[in-house]
Amino acid sequence: MRLPKFEYRVPQTIADALKIMADAGPNGQFVAGGTDLYPNMKRRQQMPKTVISVMRLAELHEITGDGKGGLKIGASVTLTDVCEHPVINRDYSVVAHAARLISTPLLRNMGTIGGNLLLDTRCNYYDQNYEWRKGINFCLKKDGDVCWVAPGSSKCWAVQSSDLVPVMVAIGARLKFASTLGERVIDAAGLYNDDGIDYLRKRPDELLIAIELPPTNGWRASYQKLRRRGAFDFPVLGVAACVHLDSAQVVTEAKLILGGIAPSPIEIKDAAAVLQGKPLDSTRIEAAAEAAYVKARPLDNTDFVSQWRKQMARQYTLRALNELAE
């Protein structure tokens, strides 16, 4: 598979990157490591005419702060650097752990944290080469007019498949964007839209500058990932849990996020409700896992039988919460 022709620009400053993007208009797209964008271009799923690298923008490579005051990670920091960074490992070990579970060492050397959070949604009927997709007359997400997963549906159900997204939502990370119109900072939870085509609440011309992690004052978080091949595959279920415990080991705040089963991460509010104000014991953990099972509704568009993935939502929530209770 070959890349289509495109103009490649490598700006050295954020201002230049934003200007090139503004000039390119809808034909422009940012690229970081390219581990998601270039395969998509080879499959003719995304066809930008101007590709703007964000890898020479110095501010996007910075990591500053710590768990006490909060940590800022530049969007172009590679996944390998996230895995190896001493402060991330010490103060935000859940972030390093989830990054270590992403694809392979080679892809982690190229892939960035920003690219991971802005990943295209995935589906068995979409992540195929052009001829394969042409053979089924394409689908709603690109070039076609029917969804093969839910043929009566006017919505695309392609799956949000990043390992870091559920973690960032669970711990309350914030994302800083810039465009020629100015800057804005939003909660990670507010970025994702429950639609496999229109999956980000961000304009295409907005550049992700940095990810801001909140101070760690008392919270603990964990992440569990389901996939077939442990050394390679995308998550087909990811469970991120975050709890604040007081000195009596009572949960004062809880968040449970499921990834890999829908176009956006799913917050299980019923799970948080059963944990809130209670000790993190086996009774509450089992009730929270049941709530995750009830709310999880994976469709048949990734690896494994969807009903089994639903069952696994219970098991993986048990694992994530038991890890926090230890």
Of 92, 126, 219, 234, the residue at the interface with ligand SF4 (CB under 6 A) is: 126
* The only residue of 147, 207, 210, 211 in contact with ligand FAD, by rule CB under 6 A: 207
The whole-angstrom separation of Cα 114 and Cα 211 is: 8
With CB cut-offs between 5 and 8 Å by kind, which of ligand FAD, ligand SF4, none does residue 234 bind?
A: ligand FAD
C-beta of 197 vs 287, nearer to ligand FAD: 197
Q: State which of positions 150-179 bind ligand SF4 (CB under 6 A).
A: 156-158
Partner touching 141 among ligand SF4, ligand FAD, none, CB below 5 to 8 Å by kind = ligand SF4
CB of 270 to ligand FAD, least distance (A): 26
Please give the Cα distance from 242 to 221 (Å, whole number). Answer: 4
Shortest distance, CB of residue 250 to ligand FAD, whole angstroms? 34
CA 187 to chain centre: 13
CA atoms within 13 A on the CB side of 70: 10
Q: CB-wise, 102 or 191, nearer to ligand FAD?
A: 102
Q: Please give the residues from 64 up to 123 whose contact with ligand FAD meets the rule CB under 6 A.
A: 75, 79, 102-103, 107, 110-112, 114-116, 118-119
CA pair distance 171, 181, nearest whole angstrom: 29
- Please, which residue, 162 or 243, has the CB nearer to ligand FAD? 162
Shortest Cβ 218–ligand FAD spacing (Å): 28
**Which of ligand SF4, ligand FAD, none sits in contact with 35, Cβ below 5 to 8 A by type?**
ligand FAD
Contacting residue, 76, 301, 302, 317, with ligand SF4 by CB under 6 A: 301
Hey, which residues between 8 and 47 contact ligand SF4 (CB under 6 A)?
A: none
Residue 210's binding partner out of ligand FAD, ligand SF4, none, with CB under 5 to 8 Å set by partner kind: none
Residue 124, interface with ligand FAD (CB under 6 A)?
no
Query: Could you give the string, one character per residue 220-259, with x where binding to ligand FAD holds by CB under 6 A and - elsewhere?
Result: -------------xxx------------------------
Closest residue to ligand FAD, Cβ-based?
Answer: 115
For residue 73, the number of C-alpha atoms closer than 13 Å in the C-beta half-sphere is: 29
Binding site for ligand FAD (CB under 6 A): 29-37, 39, 54, 75, 79, 102-103, 107, 110-112, 114-116, 118-119, 162-163, 207-208, 233-235
Binding site for ligand SF4 (CB under 6 A): 123, 125-126, 139-141, 147-149, 156-158, 196, 301
